[in-house]
Structure 1
């Protein structure tokens, strides 16, 4: 396509979509500091020429410390080059782009708007050539501004950026500049409304990420999920921070309406039965915990959840989420009895992560009556599906309860009943509590040998309570001799040396001599053992 530049020469113009794509790539891959220097170079008149070619490239010449030739490849952006010494995408490339933009699409003012968009200070929009440019304000979708509702803002975001997910087949990097641009739109707003706008922007980006993951084949989905979640982690953390700062009791009606709208979005996502990238149920409950301060909202939300459960589902739905939501709302109100009742109707493996913090809060508050009720509820379900992964959080609660209320034997009973899966946690707990006799009995019960224990653990017990280790070494020595081979005999001798030191530490030398005499008499016919005892200087 040919058109005239400001100086009258013929110019070959980029396709407008291609130029928009090039603008996005420059904004995404060139750091803001380099873009700013490129803009200064353009404004300072350093660009000697810029022109588009038939090969979808933009060429230019920039005068800096020398004359530098720039080639920007719109189809294969990372093949772009500059003859300057800088290793990477440089200010000369940015300057050539701004120069071309001004020459071909409306002067410096138009280039300045592109510059602001690339910095994320204004929203991206489709570039329109001068010939096809509409009249002012005609056909351009302007954002709703501070007076807009959540619904209006989401509609605008969808219209402006709703196809960005298509660029995220292998990475979410294309969404970061979009999020920055959206946040920039409310940078001057009052903080309460800004929080809601930013939360809306992040949730929109999360939805874009959900769309992107659906394009991934099932074979590589796991790896893409891990990559996407790592990229999205700062966004998710930020939205939870924003939610935690909400103050419903001081909100205006429009702000409350905005908050309710975001809550409904999270709920609509959470109720879907299909596998999703983000934990929308947790996001919904974060909003609920704040909004439940408002009694009328709490009442209406509870009725809405009950109505959903009582209404036959047209399509599949996640009823476990509905029961969990009702359980959490009851918990927020202090109605633990109904909370437990609702949770009991949900799939435990999907709601346990919500229950554990509830129990911990009751313990923290010293409400042991309900803490015991919650723990009994948890134990019943953990025991029926016990495995090493499943019992970890429950054991953490048991240990905490045993530290705060050691006079209640129920905590020890729970931990013992979950053996052998609870062994590591229980062993560590009893060492921490300095219950050395219980710790040693546990090792004997499970059949753990001294050589299988951590050296620091053994050293601690040997120094503080050496007598509890005596039965453990006796058992290990008998087992080693019972192997009837040289290697076993050598291990027995090694442990006999340690046992001798323990007897001496416990000031029971006579018992050691008596034990050794009995052992020698018992195994006097095992010549190989006698030889190893002699080599180890146990006998002379």
Structure 2
């Protein structure tokens, strides 16, 4: 707590006096004396005059008189005419006793700069509600300018976030809507800084990981905040934000599509649910058509196509995608917002049409986009069963990347025969799976499991070692249960007796059969 002898304003005046009249060497020496507790006595009179004694090891003691109201008239009995280390030590001791850090006296110039910077920052922060979003971005750029990128971009993002969190320590007169948009622009700012680092340092798998992580975090944030925006109140902020993202897309090259992804996510979670969404579609298409004429970019073309689709202009949407010269090289993620929109709006025939037209772009190693694509197919055929044949044809065309997807679909749809054929092709056997995987087949069509079990048993026996004999016995016991499920115990007994006779010379196998209680 500060003392009434000196208030905060008077302390700042004292710091200004010290910064003007003391050099750094003197303050450093005075701080050393202060830490060594050489200020032996300190008395403050009613006239606001401080009298103190500073001890010297070799020269004895020096008497210091400080005038709180007229610090320039302060005196010391040492040979130095003014602003000596003894006086500095007493100023520090005085501040310490009155609740002010002595370090502020020693670093008076730096502390005053910090205060000035803080005051300027507070003033700027209070102006943020009056700025447009481009002003916000300029402010965020300046506010984080001292944070330098490192090789570890994950650490760079953490440092940016820590710096931005300091803004919350000052109360800004934002409306609820402005606060939401300002929070979003902090996320967009971090994404922009990461992209700048990629351009400067080149893209590696390490930097890409951080970039995609931040990109996913923005998607999650937009989805979480989707119930909050009210564009009746914040329509201008929305238009400014869409314009900002369009400008970012215009600067993108190649097939990055990060800002395109943010734009379509913003549209899906925030704009589309709004009753006035069609109004924004019209305005955005007009702006995009102008921009693509002046500065064509893959992202801008993709967004224009995305908005055409909102107006049920499917053919024009596809043509807008194709108008870009490098469309054939487009990544699969470009199409996900289109497919999601058609699914969300339950336009099933159009969804199937787009799934078929975009299939070639998913013909790459399995990614989450390919999983999403396949999932949308399964959802579409629930509504349009007649499209199932198209789905299987396309998934076959996407082999080998779709192999696991086909396998999973066959299992989910309980198409046991082709599923088992895929297991055999891959060299699997019943022991490859957990028991509960095969249980539905045992229950519904146990007959289909017979070739699977018989082939595996023959294989393990052919290896002719005790370990594999044990595995063969495990399979025989399970096969016994399958025959019982089929109510064909006689068929099992006929098979098993022939099996034992066929392998009667394999003593180790016979022993394992006895241990497994299959032989008496």
TM-score by length of 1: 0.63
Structure 1: unaligned runs, 5 residues or longer:
19-50, 63-91, 126-139
The 1:168–1:302 alpha-carbon spacing in structure 2 relative to 1, beyond 3 Å, is: same
Choose which of 157, 175, 185 in structure 1 pairs with 2:160: 175
SS of 2:173's equivalent in the other structure is coil
User: d(CA) in 1 for partners of 2:224 and 2:29?
Assistant: 50
**Structure 1 residue 449 displacement after superposition:** 1.3
Quick check: 1:327–1:342 contact (8 Å CA) kept in 2?
A: yes
Rate the CA distance shift 1:470–1:260 in 2: closer, same or farther, 3 A. same
Return 5+ residue gaps in structure 2 as ranges.
Answer: 1-10, 38-95
Answering whether residue 452 of structure 2 is matched by residue 462 of structure 1, we say: no
Distance, in Å, in 2 between the alignment partners of 1:172 and 1:151 is 21
Secondary structure at 1:527 match in 2: coil
CA displacement, residues 67-125 of structure 1 (integer Å, 9 cap, x when unaligned): xxxxxxxxxxxxxxxxxxxxxxxxx9xx7659727994799xx89x95995xxxx7648
Distance 1:144 1:304, change over 3 A: same
1:100 aligned to 2:82? no
How far residue 438 of structure 1 moved from its aligned partner, in angstroms, is 4.7
* Counterparts in 2 of 1:200 and 1:490: CA distance versus 1, 3 Å: closer
Correspondences of 1:215-234 after superposition (within 5 Å):
222-223=205-206, 226=209
* Conservation of the 8 A alpha-carbon contact between 1:386 and 1:421: yes
The answer for the alignment partner of 1:451 in structure 2 is: 431
- Give the stretch that moved more between structures: 370-379 or 483-492: 483-492
Counterpart selection for 2:478 from 468, 483, 498 = 498
Shift of residue 509, structure 1, vs aligned partner: 0.9
Task: Tell me what 1:480 maps to.
Answer: 460
How far is the alpha carbon of 1:223 from its aligned partner?
3.8
- Find the counterpart in structure 2 of residue 331 from structure 1: 309
Distance of aligned partners of 1:280 and 1:183 in 2 relative to their CA distance in 1, 3 Å threshold: farther
1:362 corresponds to 2:339: no
Name the residue aligned to 1:264: 243
**For residue 76 of structure 1, what is the aligned residue in structure 2?**
none
Alignment partner of 1:285 is 2:270: no
* Alignment: residue pair count: 436
State the partner residue of 1:53. 28
Separation in 1, partners of 2:265, 2:33: 49
TM-score, length basis structure 2: 0.65
SS of the residue 2:450 aligns to: helix
Deviation digits for residues 436-471 of structure 1, max 9, x if unmatched? 445334434544211222332124433554333112
Local SS of the residue matching 1:146: helix
Structure 1 counterpart of 2:77: none
Map 1:381-392; keep pairs closer than 5 Å. 381-382=361-362, 384-385=363-364, 387=366, 391-392=370-371
Is 1:400 the equivalent of 2:404?
Answer: no
* C-alpha deviation, 1:510, in angstroms: 1.4
Task: Mark the structure with the bigger radius of gyration.
Answer: 2
Aligned to 1:30: none
Per the TM alignment, residue 417 of structure 1 is displaced from its structure 2 partner at its CA by: 5.1
* 2:51 corresponding residue in structure 1: none
Residues 100-499 of structure 1 mapped to structure 2, 5 A cutoff: 100=104, 104=108, 114=115, 117=118, 124=121, 144-158=127-141, 160-161=142-143, 163-166=145-148, 170=152, 171-182=156-167, 187-211=172-196, 222-223=205-206, 226=209, 237-238=220-221, 245-248=228-231, 250-251=232-233, 256=236, 258-273=237-252, 279-288=258-267, 293=276, 295=278, 297-311=280-294, 319-343=297-321, 347=327, 350-382=330-362, 384-385=363-364, 387=366, 391-403=370-382, 405=384, 408-410=387-389, 411-415=391-395, 418-483=398-463, 488-499=468-479
RMSD in angstroms over aligned alpha carbons?
5.0
Q: Which has the higher helix share?
A: 2
> Partners in 1 of 2:161 and 2:430 — Cα distance?
54
Deviation string 1:393-428 (CA, Å, 9 cap, x unpaired) is: 222223334555556532444445545544444444
- Distance (whole Å) between structure 2 residues aligned to residue 329 and residue 238 of structure 1: 22
CA pair 447-466 structure 1, distance change in 2 beyond 3 A = same
Decide whether aligned partners of structure 1 residues 443 and 276 sit closer, same or farther in structure 2, where only a CA change above 3 A counts: closer
Q: How big is the shift at 1:474?
A: 1.6
Q: Compared with structure 1, are the counterparts of its residues 12 and 452 closer, same or farther at alpha carbon in structure 2 (3 Å cutoff)?
A: same
Is the CA contact (8 Å cut-off) linking 2:461 and 2:469 kept in structure 1?
yes
Flag the 1:188–1:303 CA change in 2: closer, same or farther, 3 A: closer
